[in-house]
A and B are shown apart, each in its own frame.
Chain A
């Protein structure tokens, strides 16, 4: 199984600030078809996870351009700029390149 390692475990940021979350996979996430199925999700308190970024850097419909994804192979990053109160929650990376799909352990974002 592909192990997804996320760092840091938690982050505290001031409103308007910028943060980065790292996600590393134990194997390359490049699929045979050339796509890299690395996604980022946000789970707000008391809610289901929601998709933010898919295939490394593509923002899902309706997602603010304050969220950006980058990376390749086994190393990926989510950046959040101009942090807003509604951004708080737990961020997960997840891979859909091979079964079983696997997720990172999460990064909790707190607002100072």
Chain B
């Protein structure tokens, strides 16, 4: 099982970014997936979940600004981040629904002018 995030970077407040998480080693389409973030030096903060049938749940802090989606044909999970704020600065991890399979290594998103 391997999860590899990409798409992070430095972005100005109010701008957008799209993160990707490429999955391998398991039947991606059969599993729900999470995005979880960790601000620098801080704890874990759950962001969003998408089920195997593409039902979604969001943390209140990102609802209406972030969109989780998936492409089962490409074994890829996405997180579209819009209207970014400084408090969205964090390492973003993707993780399988059971949170047991190895999490991705994380991708850094820095929101700053």
A49-B44, A92-B43, A106-B43 known; A100 and B59 CB under 8 Å?
Answer: yes
Closest to A51 in B: B100
| Cβ–Cβ contact A104 & B43, under 8 A | yes
A-B contact count (CB 8 A): 46
A105-B43 in contact given A99-B49, A100-B59, A100-B60 (Cβ < 8 Å): yes
B78 in the interface (beta carbon within 8 A): no
How many chain B residues touch the partner (CB < 8 A)? 19
* Residue A96 CB within 8 A of the other chain: yes
Q: Would A92 and B44 count as touching, CB distance under 8 A? A: yes
Asked if A99 and B43 sit within 8 Å, CB to CB, the answer is no
Bound CA–CA A100/B46 (angstroms): 7
Q: Which residues of A are interface residues toward B (Cβ below 8 A)?
A: 39, 41, 48-51, 54, 60-61, 92, 94, 96, 99-106
Q: Which residues of B contact A (CB under 8 A)?
A: 34, 36, 43-46, 49, 57, 59-60, 93, 98-100, 102-106
